[in-house]
């Protein structure tokens, strides 16, 4: 942090500064959602254009999300050195680099370079997430943290609904379906020419994305976003943390990071597997493609409920407990509920609607865990946030577990993987967040 930039305590912000900051961070969460949810389109797009197997195509998600595991802790040290605002600027610039890497990857139709670009995009997002999540958590009264995070969630999931639609509109053409069907009968030269043309369509949009991301980095750096001081603790907090030398001396944080790992895993399973589950009910892809939007719509409904009720009518810890119990209940209903119903123009087994309802159950879990896990960390806040962000690698790992179980048993029984996840989340909501000393500690 420069000598001219003075970090201040979030509690000293004016109401005007607080709302400006929430607006700016909301923009960041919109960018998180937009960049992340494009992967749903990139997976089948790269599979065709780069002639990949199913396993190879899913490396899109793995390369993107594994960066959170690798880069989150280095991100915390970067933020500790240069502060939140400059850290966000660097995060945007790293993302811009990742977008620009798509250009040589497309020119050579080289999948490995695309994966490097995706990893770089994920690295920039890891820096931004490590900065933005603790920032919005401490930006105002602690008891309203879940309310603020819910606002961020609407921005994130709203972008998630728009991103695939916009990206598909930019890169796909009316005659592509016919061309895809003819690829198998084309000669090698003709097929390579068609695939080269297809993959090079990403050059212009990702060049624009790179320029926009670079510009956003400058805008955030010179925005009125205040620099929050998390390095200097209150007297009470300093005394409580006086003997702490390691982040692992905060059990509620470590337990919370594992909760985040399981939570994002349950969330991505609910959204990314529902089309396949619908297909198992003889619902075709054209009809089934709307089911993820239903799940996201219920997630946004949950955010709206959180904004309306927290903390005036219900505390954020109690709403976390309700959501985790609902997740457990909906999982049981996915496994055991049966019977054909007609709803929203679909004829399907009733169990699929409980997968949709997981969007509601998952909506306020992230918002509930963050303030509980970061409570009392003081000067360890940035490092603690990076540990939490590492949990996002659950997006890369949990779907693979579901897929393994689906292959081993079937797509319905594979949802059993959600049950122990929600049980742990219930434990954290009820008891785990209160643990301040490991049971095995001397």
pLDDT score of 189 more than 80: yes
pLDDT at 97: 95
Q: What is the pLDDT of residues 353-383, one digit of tens each?
A: 999 999 999 988 988 898 889 888 877 777 7
pLDDT score of 3 more than 60: no
Highest mean pLDDT among 259-273, 282-296, 386-400: 259-273
In whole angstroms, give the CA distance from residue 118 to residue 39: 9
pTM: 0.71
Domains in the chain, CATH or no CATH each: 9-230 (1.20.1250.20), 247-435 (1.20.1250.20)
Alpha helices, DSSP H, located in 2-58: 15-37, 39-49, 54-57
What b-and-e string marks burial along 311-339, b requiring 16 or more CB atoms within 10 Å of the CB?
A: beebebbebbbebbbbbbebbbbbbeeee
**What count of Cα atoms within 13 Å lies in the side-chain half-sphere of residue 103?**
12
Give yes or no for a cis peptide into 311 (omega within 30° of 0).
yes
pLDDT score of 272 more than 90: no
Please state the rounded mean pLDDT for residues 386-410.
83
SS3 assignment, position 255: helix
| Residue 344 zone, left/alpha/beta (φ > 0; ψ -120 to 50; rest) | left
Q: How confident is the model at residue 26 (pLDDT cuts 50, 70, 90)?
A: confident
Q: Euclidean distance between the first and final Cα of the chain, in Å? A: 38
Please state the rounded mean pLDDT for residues 50-64.
75
Q: What is the pLDDT of residues 85-110, one digit of tens each?
A: 788 889 999 999 999 999 999 998 88
Q: How confident is the model at residue 260 (pLDDT cuts 50, 70, 90)?
A: very high
Q: What is the pLDDT of residues 134-143, one digit of tens each?
A: 777 666 676 6
Joined tokens for residue 427: 């434990």
Q: How confident is the model at residue 309 (pLDDT cuts 50, 70, 90)?
A: confident
Please state the rounded mean pLDDT for residues 402-428.
90
């Amino acid at each position: 942090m420069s000598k001219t930039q003075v970090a201040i305590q979030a509690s000293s912000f004016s109401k005007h500064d607080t709302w400006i900051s929430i607006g700016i961070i909301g923009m960041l969460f919109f960018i998180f959602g937009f960049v992340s949810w494009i992967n749903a389109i990139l997976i089948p797009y790269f599979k065709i254009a780069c002639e990949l197997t199913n396993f190879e195509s899913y490396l899109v998600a793995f390369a993107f999300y594994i960066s959170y595991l690798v880069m989150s802790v280095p991100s915390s040290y970067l933020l500790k050195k240069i502060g939140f605002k400059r850290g966000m600027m660097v995060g945007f610039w790293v993302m811009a680099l990742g977008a620009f890497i798509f250009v040589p990857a497309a020119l050579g139709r080289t999948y490995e370079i695309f994966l490097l670009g995706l990893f770089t995009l994920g690295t920039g997002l890891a820096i931004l997430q490590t900065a933005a999540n603790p920032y919005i958590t401490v930006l105002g009264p602690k008891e309203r943290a879940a309310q603020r995070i819910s606002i961020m969630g609407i921005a994130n999931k709203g972008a998630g609904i728009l991103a695939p639609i916009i990206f598909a509109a930019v890169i796909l053409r009316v005659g592509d379906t016919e061309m895809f069907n003819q690829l198998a009968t084309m000669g090698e030269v003709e097929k390579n020419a068609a695939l080269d043309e297809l993959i090079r369509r990403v050059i212009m949009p990702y060049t624009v994305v790179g320029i926009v991301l670079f510009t956003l980095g400058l805008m955030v750096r010179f925005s009125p976003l205040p620099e929050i001081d998390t390095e200097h603790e209150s007297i009470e907090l300093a005394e409580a943390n006086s003997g702490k030398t390691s982040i692992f001396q905060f059990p509620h944080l470590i337990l919370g990071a594992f909760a985040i790992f399981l939570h994002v895993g349950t969330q991505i399973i609910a959204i990314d597997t529902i089309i396949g589950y619908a297909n198992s009910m003889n619902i075709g892809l054209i009809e089934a493609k709307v089911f993820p939007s239903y799940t996201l719509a219920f997630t946004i409904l949950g955010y709206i409920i959180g904004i309306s009720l927290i903390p005036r009518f219900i505390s954020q810890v109690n709403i976390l407990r309700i959501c985790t119990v609902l997740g457990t209940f909906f999982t049981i209903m996915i496994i055991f509920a049966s019977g054909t119903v007609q709803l929203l123009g679909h004829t399907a087994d009733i169990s699929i609607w409980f997968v949709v309802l997981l969007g509601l159950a998952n909506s306020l879990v992230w918002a509930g865990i963050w303030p509980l896990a970061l409570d009392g960390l003081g000067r360890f806040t940035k490092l603690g946030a990076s540990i939490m962000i590492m949990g996002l690698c659950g997006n890369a790992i949990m779907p693979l577990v579901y897929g393994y179980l689906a292959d081993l048993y079937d797509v319905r029984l594979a949802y059993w993987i959600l049950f122990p996840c929600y049980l742990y989340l219930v434990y954290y909501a009820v008891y785990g967040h209160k643990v301040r000393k490991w049971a095995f500690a001397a």
